[in-house]
Amino acid sequence: MGNQSCSPSLKTVDCLYQVVSYAGLVPDTSLDTSLDTFLSLNSSWALEQQYSSLQQNLSQQQMSAFNRDLQTTFRGSTTVSYGGVGVVSLALSVLFEVLAHHQRTQPGLRGPQGSPPPPEPDPIRRMFVADGTSEVGSIVSEFLKQVKQWVNGAALHVHIFLHWKRLTDPSAGDVDSLKYLQAMEPLLKTYTQFLHRTVRETPPSAPGPTGLLVVEPLRNVTHGVQHRTCESAAIQRALVERFLSVQDVQRGKDFFQSSQDHHDSLMAQQADFMLKM
């Protein structure tokens, strides 16, 4: 009965998770959705969708400048060889995002609705930096960054090698995606243990935001969520589970499994990409 009486309510855990989320402190080491999308059998379709969406969401003035940048980059050519395939489609996606970001944030240039939109995140930082909103501020943050870099870097490595084989020697040895899949288990175990060590929570000692929630050293947020002191240990465990669940760790595992299972189909991809300028 004693343990049951110190179990926090779901509402308490939800409120504390929202505090962390609003503060931008939820750790992220998951496979970037761009890699999962463009390093796949649906890469050509995904790139067409992104390109079409950009054209619809840029003003005429912005689109003209966007096209001029593309013409300069590709020296007037409208066909990108293998542009709809794997790492090439990913590179084009990043290029489109960077150029569109540049146009949206240019002084004096207005969006389709007549007002400048807010700045957008850097796609490179999003893929390879654990915290895209601030500089890495601690050794622990460096660890998180390395985990994210490993997951996304491994995914990129598999498909860079696939494209090298596609262009040069299809009979060359395979990059064993399953080795990366197997390596994820001990990495995720270490990461989970790390979170259990670093996530700490104390309730408010007085009315107002006097409680403290520590996600990692030097990264914390005060809060005013009232609860009994004995519930803190269970809250910490529940928050760790929530952090892990929202990162969709399974997506990374599925990615490496799919890259292995569909190796031949991925190798057979040939789609060029046509620019509409």
How does DSSP assign 38-52, residue by residue? HSSTTHHHHHHHHHH
**Residue given tokens 């929530």 in the structure block:** 242
Residue 20 above 90 pLDDT? Answer: yes
Residue 69 above 60 pLDDT? Answer: yes
pLDDT 10s digits, 91-142: 999 999 889 888 887 766 555 555 555 555 566 666 665 554 433 345 556 6
Give pTM, 2 decimals. 0.80
In single-letter form, the type of residue at position 120 comes to E
Which pLDDT score, from 0 to 100, does residue 13 have? 97
**Residue given tokens 């050509």 in the structure block:** 44
